Structure 1
Amino acid sequence: MTGQTAGDLLRMTDAGRVHHAGTPAEVHALRSFSLAVAPGELVAVMGPSGSGKSTVLHLAGGLDVPTSGEVVLDGVSLGGLSVRKRAALRRRAVGYVFQDLNLVPALTAVENVMLPRELDGVATSTARTEALAALEEVDVADLADRFPEELSGGQQQRVAIARALVGPRRLVLADEPTGALDSLAGEAVMKVLRARVDAGAAGLLVTHDAQHAAWADRVVRLRDGFVVGTTGDLVHGVGRAPAGVVGDVAGGQR
């Protein structure tokens, strides 16, 4: 990819994130990372623990801001926004599938899916209609009135995905969405994510599983905050790992 195009929903340009900058405990979580994702594309990010994968998702979704470079979501640069404005943009444009699901135990499946829309000021009746449609999309609409404890792990994951897809979400971020599932349930979840991307969303997936990464159009591999390999014409102008690091992972984890 030679540069940003008008159709890109997410653009990260030389994005870096340093924790505790200027102190002895300074940590470079991500270094000079560049990536553009358009609607209809699913990109997988892989790497060992501590490589910067979650940092990519946090920056892409506005949960954090870069200490260097720029992140542009749906035409808006996130670095210059207040916490409140980033949260409003995230509710409108971003669906996040958390590794630990974060379903509210006291709410039913449909109420969990309705929650982000209601927080964004959408009328309850409209939020419920949208939530039921999202549950239908992931094939669990018949479980709408059950509480999380009454659902299997795979069913809970589908509800979490429905919550990420509800309303006008254009970017779906998924952090190890199949980590707690068996192989069959995991493949079903990936099928749902792939279908949503094919329907027009942009997707960014963090995974350790090469089989699940195979559902993506492109794969980027990280180590120690650096890009150490890509599949597809994915990254332009990226920071590269020091000499020797790439060789350590060549042909390794996908």
Structure 2
Amino acid sequence: MTVVRLSEVGRVHDEGAAAVHALRGVNLEAAAGELVAVMGPSGSGKSTLLNLAGGLDLATTGTVLVEGQDLAGVKDLAALRRRSVGYVFQDLNLIPSLTAVENVMLPRELDGVRSGQARAEALAVLAEVGMEHMAERFPEEVSGGQRQRVAIARALVGERRLLLADEPTGALDTRTGDEILQILRARADAGAAVLLVTHEPRYAAWADRVVFLRDGQVADSTDTPLESAR
């Protein structure tokens, strides 16, 4: 089952002489159980692609479907993201005044889940990423790798079917980066669709498919993993 599909998607920033074509005619899809790595040079449109796939931005042309819903026609994109899409941002976006478990609980509480249930779900997913023992710590009290795990737990909570990760290993050492990729791979194997932006071939090797962007267009796509780092 296809979870996300981008069809002839374009994204233009600004207008007239200042117009910048961030994406041009991009076709991409990810199915349940599939991890797709997106690679390309800086400025090629990788982060823009993730923003469109997750409804953080809307396409100028083309269509983006998440679980069959055309995002251009969704009235409450924030609600759709909370229920269907998990996003791991480059800068994590953890709230410093909330503990790890409170950060993970937040999207569920915003979606109307009672506090007790939201906490139970948050603790379960923190255990999945090996952070249950740090549940009551604040972001500044844990390491960079541990903060990344909390951010991933927040993206996973609620059994979201689409997981988007923008350079989730960028600030991590190799061992911790490998552990993060194991978590993303396990979630894909459990039935989610995962889109991973990375510049590291060793992490792209965990993917089922690698898509290469250049100048806002898909330059190549391969179903053959790169040399395995596993």
Q: Name which of 15, 18, 22 aligns with 1:25.
A: 18
* 2:50 match: 57
- CA deviation profile, 1:214-236 (whole Å, cap 9, x unmatched): 10100011111011111129xxx
Does 2:147 align with 1:156?
yes
* 2:32 match: 39
TM-score by length of 1: 0.86
* 1:107 match: 98
Task: Classify the secondary structure of the residue corresponding to 2:94.
Answer: coil
Tell me how far apart the structure 1 counterparts of residues 160 and 47 of structure 2 sit (CA, whole Å).
20
- Cα distance, 1:14 vs structure 2: 0.6
Matches within 5 A, 1:86-105: 86-105=77-96
Tell me how far apart the structure 2 counterparts of residues 170 and 195 of structure 1 sit (CA, whole Å).
13
Does 2:122 align with 1:138?
no
Q: Name which of 116, 130, 136 aligns with 1:125.
A: 116
Matches within 5 A, 1:1-254: 7-21=1-15, 23-82=16-75, 85-232=76-223
Tell me how far apart the structure 1 counterparts of residues 113 and 74 of structure 2 sit (CA, whole Å).
23
Task: Classify the secondary structure of the residue corresponding to 1:24.
Answer: helix
The higher radius of gyration belongs to: 1
- Paired residues, number: 224
Task: Classify the secondary structure of the residue corresponding to 1:69.
Answer: strand
Q: CA RMSD in A?
A: 1.0
Tell me how far apart the structure 1 counterparts of residues 145 and 14 of structure 2 sit (CA, whole Å).
38
User: Structure 2: which 5+ residue stretches go unaligned?
Assistant: 225-230
- Cα distance, 1:81 vs structure 2: 2.4
- Cα distance, 1:168 vs structure 2: 2.6
Q: Is the 8 A contact 2:27 2:218 kept in 1?
A: no
Q: Is the 8 A contact 2:162 2:192 kept in 1?
A: yes
Tell me how far apart the structure 1 counterparts of residues 213 and 150 of structure 2 sit (CA, whole Å).
29
Percent pairwise identity: 66
- Cα distance, 1:132 vs structure 2: 0.3
Query: What is the letter of the counterpart of residue 185 of structure 1?
Result: T
Query: What is the letter of the counterpart of residue 79 of structure 2?
Result: A
Query: What is the letter of the counterpart of residue 180 of structure 1?
Result: A
Tell me how far apart the structure 1 counterparts of residues 214 and 146 of structure 2 sit (CA, whole Å).
33
Task: Classify the secondary structure of the residue corresponding to 1:117.
Answer: helix
Task: Classify the secondary structure of the residue corresponding to 1:9.
Answer: strand
TM-score by length of 2: 0.95
